[in-house]
A and B are shown apart, each in its own frame.
Chain A
Amino acid sequence: MKRIGRLKVKKIRQNVYHYVLLIFFFLIFISPIVLMILSSFKEDEIQIIKDMSSIQAFLPNGPMGFENYVNVFQRMNFFKFFTNSVIITVSTIVVGICFNSMFAYALAKLEFKAKHILLPAMIALIIVPGETLSIPLLLLVNKMGLIDTYAVQIIPFVAEPFFIFLFYQFFKELPKEIMEAAIIDGSSYFGIYRRIILPLSKPVFASVIIFNALGRWGDIMWPVLVTRGEDVRPLPLAMQALFTINRNNWGDIFAFATMATLPILLLFLLFQKQFIRSIASTGVKG
Chain B
Amino acid sequence: MRKNVLMILSLVLVFTLAACGSSKNGETASKEAVQGSGKKVEVTMWRTIGSPEEDKYFNELVDSFNKSQEKLVIKQTTFPGDTYHDQVHAAGLSKGLPDLLYLDGTEMSYMAYQGFLAPLDTYLPDDLKKDLLPSLIKQGTYSDGKLYLLGQFDSGLSFWANKKMLEQAKVRIPKGIDDAWSKTEFDDALAKLKAIPEIKFPLDLKINYGAGYWIYSYLPWVAGFGGNYMNADTKLSEGTLNGPQTVEAFQYLRTLIDKGYVNPTQTNDDDFFGKKVSALSLVGHWMEPTHKKELGDDAILVPFPNFGKGVFTGIGSLGWTITASAKEKGVDQQAWEVLSHFMSPENIKNVSAANGAVPARISVLNEIPDYQEGGRLYLYREQLEKGNGIVRPVTPAFSVFQKEIGQAAMDIVNGADVKGMLDKAAKAIDQSINDAGYNNK
Judged by CB atoms under 8 Å, the answer to whether A and B touch is yes
Could you list which residues of chain A lie within 8 angstroms of chain B, going by C-beta atoms? 46, 49-50, 52, 71, 74-76, 87, 90-91, 94-95, 97-98, 138-139, 142, 147-151, 194-195, 198-199, 220, 224-232, 237-247, 249
B83 x A87 contact (CB < 8 A): no
Evaluate whether A247 and B51 lie within 8 angstroms (CB atoms) in the complex, with A49-B269, A87-B18, A198-B5 already known.
yes
The digit string for B1-28, where 1 denotes a CB below 8 A from any CB of A, is: 1101100110110011011001100100
How far is the CB of A45 from the nearest CB of chain B, in Å? 9
Can you report 8 A-B residue pairs in the complex whose CB atoms are below 8 A from each other? A46-B270, A75-B49, A90-B11, A142-B94, A194-B5, A238-B80, A241-B80, A245-B81
In the complex, chain B residues whose CB is within 8 Å of the CB of A151: 19
A149 x B19 contact (CB < 8 A): yes
A49–B268 Cα gap in the complex (Å)? 7
Evaluate whether A147 and B286 lie within 8 angstroms (CB atoms) in the complex, with A49-B274, A75-B52, A224-B86 already known.
no
How many residues does chain B have at the interface if contact means C-beta atoms less than 8 Å apart?
A: 45
Could you list which residues of chain B lie within 8 angstroms of chain A, going by C-beta atoms? 1-2, 4-5, 8-9, 11-12, 15-16, 18-19, 22-23, 26, 49-52, 55, 77-83, 86-87, 90-91, 93-94, 96, 209, 212, 268-270, 274, 284, 286-287, 290, 294
A17–B209 Cα gap in the complex (Å)? 45
Pick from A94, A139, A228: contact of B91, CB below 8 A: A228
The interface residues of chain B, by DSSP majority, are classed as helix
A91 x B83 contact (CB < 8 A): no
How far is the CB of B211 from the nearest CB of chain A, in Å? 12
A-B contacts besides A98-B9, A245-B212, A246-B287, 8 pairs, CB < 8 Å: A75-B49, A91-B19, A150-B19, A198-B1, A225-B90, A226-B90, A230-B77, A244-B50
A46 x B274 contact (CB < 8 A): yes
Evaluate whether A230 and B1 lie within 8 angstroms (CB atoms) in the complex, with A94-B11, A225-B90, A247-B51 already known.
no
In the complex, chain A residues whose CB is within 8 Å of the CB of B78: 230, 241
Pick from A150, A224, A244, A247: contact of B83, CB below 8 A: A224
The interface residues of chain A, by DSSP majority, are classed as helix
How far is the CB of A154 from the nearest CB of chain B, in Å? 8
B2 x A240 contact (CB < 8 A): no
Evaluate whether A147 and B55 lie within 8 angstroms (CB atoms) in the complex, with A50-B274, A225-B86, A231-B26 already known.
no
A113–B290 Cα gap in the complex (Å)? 71
A246 x B1 contact (CB < 8 A): no
A213–B309 Cα gap in the complex (Å)? 58
Pick from A71, A87, A147: contact of B15, CB below 8 A: A87
A237 x B83 contact (CB < 8 A): yes
A215–B2 Cα gap in the complex (Å)? 28
A98–B52 Cα gap in the complex (Å)? 44
In the complex, chain B residues whose CB is within 8 Å of the CB of A246: 209, 284, 286-287
A243 x B81 contact (CB < 8 A): yes
In the complex, chain A residues whose CB is within 8 Å of the CB of B19: 87, 91, 149-151, 232
